Amino acid sequence: MTIKRTSVLILAVLFIICLNVYGAPTGKKATNIILMVPDGTPLSTVAAARIYAYGPGNGRLHLETLEQIGYQSTHSRNSVVTDSAAAASAWACGQKFNNGEISFHRETKKGPKTILELAKEMGKSTGLVATSTITHATPAAFASHVPSRKCEKTIAKQLITSTGVDVLLGGGLGNFKSTEEKKDKCGTWGDFIPLAEENNYKIVYNREEMLNAAGEKKLLGLFNPKGMTPVFQKETGDPQNREPALSEMTRAALNILEQNDKGFFLMVEGSQVDWANHQNNLVYQIGEMLEFDRAVKVVLDWADSKLSRKAHTLVIVVPDHGCGGFAIKGPYGKTFDKPGVYIEDGWVSKVHTGEDTIIWSQGPYSEHLGKAIDNIDVFHIMKAAFMGAAYK
């Protein structure tokens, strides 16, 4: 009896220690939502990256280990084939938009609140990370409202003033510092860096500065005048390694956002998988896809580090659309076991394609993503997860 009681006591003490260290899962509500977007990525791109990384049958990408798998239809309001603006706006707002619109309906000159804006109203922190300009279509849709994706200077101003996103990391310095000759389609131009400083942003311009900014509350990282240097060009395009990798930007964002006990919304985009597919460039594609997957690993490791964190974090990995009609056409009639071998690629076009895209997810409400849905449903599921509301 004494031995039994001692064992029970030891287990109880260990349980209390675990609770103190990791926290306890308490219900289904999502405190954090992390939406990760490999832009323009059909399933064949995932397979090609996996084969390169592991060989045909020796492993899985980190994104493939998430618990739920479903798929979404992607059409926009005015086209069977969407662009990134309409697709991201559908996720952000739960409505269909015309191609080119950024969470804004041109005919009504209005746009509904985005999931990021709703998160801010709940007292949560917010972040956007991308390898394109941070004012590009996908990140822009979550934190701005403009009639055209070409209004990138207007978007830049809205990100730091109207919305005040806590963490902004990516390219696009040229859209925050421009002259009248470089005004955008909405007629906006100017130097918004002093405006960002007035709004309490720490401004960083390179990898080292970003890594030293972990204790900041608000961070604006602009690492390239345009989009960031592609992974496969890093040695020649960024020889001093001044630009952070997507995985490093993701870790930096989490370091800041996790300080808020009320939680956060974070969108991470591997923007240039799409750009690679537009160019029908396999080497470019694989480099971007594998770096995006390293960012997924950063997120999963962060979530796994505490039981309560994992229990209350909804992670969603979903491409906005396909691009290039990419296919694996070989090698046919032979295989190989070693990693580091490129498949033989085939392409249909150099533009977006209209196929459904896969959704990988885990965490609260992810069961609603593990089936056939439309892209607008992603918003409603995220909103329900934040509110702990019933979802059908």
For tokens 């999502």, what's the residue?
30
Do strands 264-270 and 125-133 pair parallel, antiparallel, or not at all (unpaired)? parallel
Q: Which residues lie closer than 8 Å to 385 by C-beta, 6 or more apart? A: 29, 30, 33, 314, 363, 364, 365, 391
By C-alpha distance, which of 71, 41, 39, 36 is closest to 326? 41
Cα(166)–Cα(258) distance, integer angstroms: 12
Start-to-end Cα distance in the chain: 50
Instruction: Please give the Cα distance from 179 to 299 (Å, whole number).
Output: 38
| Residue whose structure tokens are 């209209």 | 354
Judge whether 99 and 76 are in contact, CB under 8 Å: yes
Strands (E), the chain: 32-38, 68-73, 125-133, 167-171, 202-204, 219-222, 264-270, 313-317, 322-323, 327-330, 344-346, 352-353, 357-362, 372-374
Q: Read off the tokens for 253.
A: 């964002």
**Gyration radius (Cα) of the chain, Å:** 21
Q: Is residue 123 exposed (0-12), middle (13-18) or buried (19+ Cβ within 10 Å)? A: exposed
* Active site (catalytic) residues: 84
Label residues 221-236 b or e (16+ Cβ within 10 Å = b): bbbbeebbbbbbebee
Whether the CB-CB separation of 173 and 208 falls below 8 Å is answered with no
Residue type, 208: E
